Amino acid sequence: MTTAIIITICILILIAYVFDITSSKTKVPSVILLLLLGWLVKQISTTVGIRIPNLNPILPILGTIGLILIVLEGSLELELNPSKFSLVKKSFMVALLPIVLLAIIIAAIFYFGYGIDFKTGLTNIIPLCVISSAIAIPSVKNLSGSQKEFIIYESSLSDIIGVVFFNFVALNNTFGIKTIWDFLGELLGIIIISFIATGGLSYLLNKINTHIKFAPIIVLVILIYNISKIYHLPALIFILIFGLFLGNLDEMKQLPVIEWLKPELLNREVKKFKEITIEATFIIRVLFFLLFGYLMETSEILNPQTFVWAVGIVAGIYLIRLLILKFYKTELSPLVFIAPRGLITILLFLSIPTPQIIPLVNKSLIIQVVILSALVMMVGLMLDKKEISLIEKTE
């Protein structure tokens, strides 16, 4: 039995690898194929009569590790220099405004239409307002440099803003001056911790000379993230700062503290660390979406009661995105279509405190929004590909 499970997992990961390397050509988001593959495995195991233990508790663990690695991978790729500040500012606003506007609008609909407490409505709808960097970043490999950078910044910042906003709303019973001051204190605290931890981890990365070098660093990053979460600190900020620091050592060579870290030697280690992070991210992301697909029920995917809501929410997502991109004079195609929901949405949905759960926002709605937003992105990328081909033929 154990051997059969190991063989099955290996085959599924290899199939996922094929999905990953072909997605840039087919424009089909690998998340759809992974969810479908996981669902098919469930149907086959049920038909054959194979009993598999309850895997639900594993999903949040994989999701948390996946989120850490995805944001770390994305931040390691980003360049931080004065020429990028306008891009960072624009991507921050494009990440922030849709989350806030969509959450407030739908929470208001819940409040006036269904009598649901506004705070509870916000807690439930925020997960659906956050772009999934786990899907967005791998999907833009073939876009131009500026578009790719914009999506990496935007989706990573969307994850961070979404988690901070969700925790702020879900974990506070009242909102006032004290709540805001506490939040600002937490923000300042995580920034200080981030710089101290980043310096310490960078030093270790440069000094560890044993044959096992990068695994302890990744484990320490996960450990610091989860300890920060216990104290309700916005821990993803630490991941972003750590990744940006390691990825931009050349931009900070003039600082005395950077010289102390010997950037020439550290850069070589960072390159290897990047490669390990990319590999680990791929495995965790694949396992997460396969498992989520496995845990999906056919009735949840085809639930007609939530489908109208799912279509309405997805329409709202792209309408607000279109207006904000236009306002900031950003190139629309294909960026307007790249707003998928995925890992972070599922993770935040699973984190909603039990007393605040409402029947209207359920697993069916989450699955349908994830799939619909991925399909919209797929169509948008395909149309953009055709547009480029027509231009090339004309020339």
Which single residue is written with the structure tokens 């790249």? 338
Total of domains in the chain: 1
Q: Which helix (H) or strand (E) holds 312?
A: helix 304-327
- 30 vs 323, residue with greater confidence: 323
Please check whether residue 317 is in contact with residue 373, taking contact to mean a CB–CB distance below 8 angstroms: yes
- 1 vs 138, residue with greater confidence: 138
Residue 391 pLDDT: 38
How far does Cα 395 stand from its chain's mean position?
38
Virtual torsion, Cα 241, 244, 249, 254, nearest 10 deg:
-60
Which single residue is written with the structure tokens 């085809």? 302
Which of 340, 341, 309, 335 lies closest to 322 in space, CA to CA? 335
Which of 2, 5, 4 lies closest to 287 in space, CA to CA? 5
Q: Where are the alpha helices (DSSP H) in the chain?
A: 2-26, 30-48, 58-77, 85-114, 118-125, 133-139, 145-170, 177-207, 214-230, 236-247, 256-260, 263-295, 298-301, 304-327, 343-350, 363-394
Q: What percent of the chain has pLDDT over 90?
A: 49
For residue 338, which phi and psi values (nearest 5 degrees)? -95, 80
Q: What is the CATH number of the domain that holds 108?
A: 1.20.1530.20
- What is the mean predicted confidence (pLDDT) over 40-60? 87
pLDDT of 179 strictly over 60: yes
pLDDT classification of 313: cutoffs 50, 70, 90: very high
Which pLDDT tens digit goes with each residue over 55-77?
889 999 998 998 899 888 888 87
Q: How far apart are CA 75 and CA 53, in angstroms?
A: 36
Which pLDDT tens digit goes with each residue over 242-263?
998 988 887 877 777 777 777 7
Q: Structural domain of residue 314, as residue ranges?
A: 2-394
Which of 77, 80, 88 lies closest to 251 in space, CA to CA? 80
* Encoded tokens for 48: 């054959």
Q: How far apart are CA 237 and CA 72, in angstroms?
A: 10
